[in-house]
């Protein structure tokens, strides 16, 4: 937080990712950790906030079925099932692969088409994949060689149109 301030960034929201299926706590001596935070910080006055898109993406609707403002608590399961990438032995390739839907919300809510998205801790490449799908330019950095092939494989696949079901007007 201090380094953001030193570099002239101002925090606009801290979004809480609430996990519906967190890993159980093995010690049984503390509460199960079930949240992570997304810090949204900006520089200057011209920040991008796609209010209407985030309203459309918000699964919560008003009593009349109308869209509602997006809140700062987002609920998604930890990646599992078909979305989770496994190696040939059936082991999850990356321990903290992020939900694609969550990256869709972040990238479509806080950037525009053709913007540049940087992920300096790329992991399995979720950010880059979704940035590509949403027509953003992207740079991903990852220090572990073992993930580079995974990232390239994900990026070489054709765009999965089903990801656009809720946001096909973008």
Ligand X SMILES: C[S@@+](CC[C@H](N)C(=O)[O-])C[C@H]1O[C@@H](n2cnc3c(N)ncnc32)[C@H](O)[C@@H]1O
Interacting residues with ligand X (CB under 6 A): 94, 96-98, 121, 123-124, 126-127, 141-144, 147
Min separation Cβ 67 and ligand X, Å: 28
Q: Do 19 and 35 meet the contact criterion of CB atoms below 8 Å apart? A: yes
Min separation Cβ 122 and ligand X, Å: 6
Q: Are strands 116-119 and 137-140 parallel, antiparallel or unpaired?
A: parallel
Give 19 or 55: the residue with its C-beta nearer to ligand X.
19
**Using CB atoms, what's the residue nearest to ligand X?**
123
Give 54 or 126: the residue with its C-beta nearer to ligand X.
126
Measure the CA–CA gap between 127 and 122, rounded to whole angstroms: 7
Closest to 58 measured CA to CA, from 111, 109, 128: 109
Min separation Cβ 97 and ligand X, Å: 4
Give 70 or 130: the residue with its C-beta nearer to ligand X.
130
95 contact partners, CB below 8 Å, separation of at least 6: none
Give 21 or 96: the residue with its C-beta nearer to ligand X.
96
Size of the chain in residues: 170
Q: How far is CA 118 from the centre of its chain?
A: 12
- For helices 126-133 and 145-156, angle between their N-to-C axes, nearest 10 degrees: 20
Min separation Cβ 44 and ligand X, Å: 26
């Amino acid at each position: 937080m201090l380094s953001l301030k030193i570099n002239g960034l101002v925090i606009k929201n801290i979004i809480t990712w609430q996990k519906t299926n967190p890993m159980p706590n093995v010690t049984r001596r503390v509460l199960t950790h079930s949240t992570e935070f997304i810090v949204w910080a900006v520089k200057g006055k011209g920040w991008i906030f796609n209010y209407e898109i985030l309203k459309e993406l918000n699964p919560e609707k008003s009593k009349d079925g109308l869209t509602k403002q997006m809140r700062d608590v987002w609920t998604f399961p930890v990646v599992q099932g078909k979305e989770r990438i496994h190696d040939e032995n059936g082991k999850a390739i990356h321990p903290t692969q992020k939900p694609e839907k969550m990256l869709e919300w972040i990238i479509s809510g806080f950037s525009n088409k053709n913007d540049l998205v940087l992920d300096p801790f790329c992991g399995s490449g979720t950010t880059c994949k979704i940035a590509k799908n949403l027509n953003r330019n992207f740079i991903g950095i990852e220090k572990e060689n073992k993930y580079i092939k995974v990232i390239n494989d994900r990026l070489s696949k054709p765009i999965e149109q089903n990801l656009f079901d809720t946001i096909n007007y973008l």
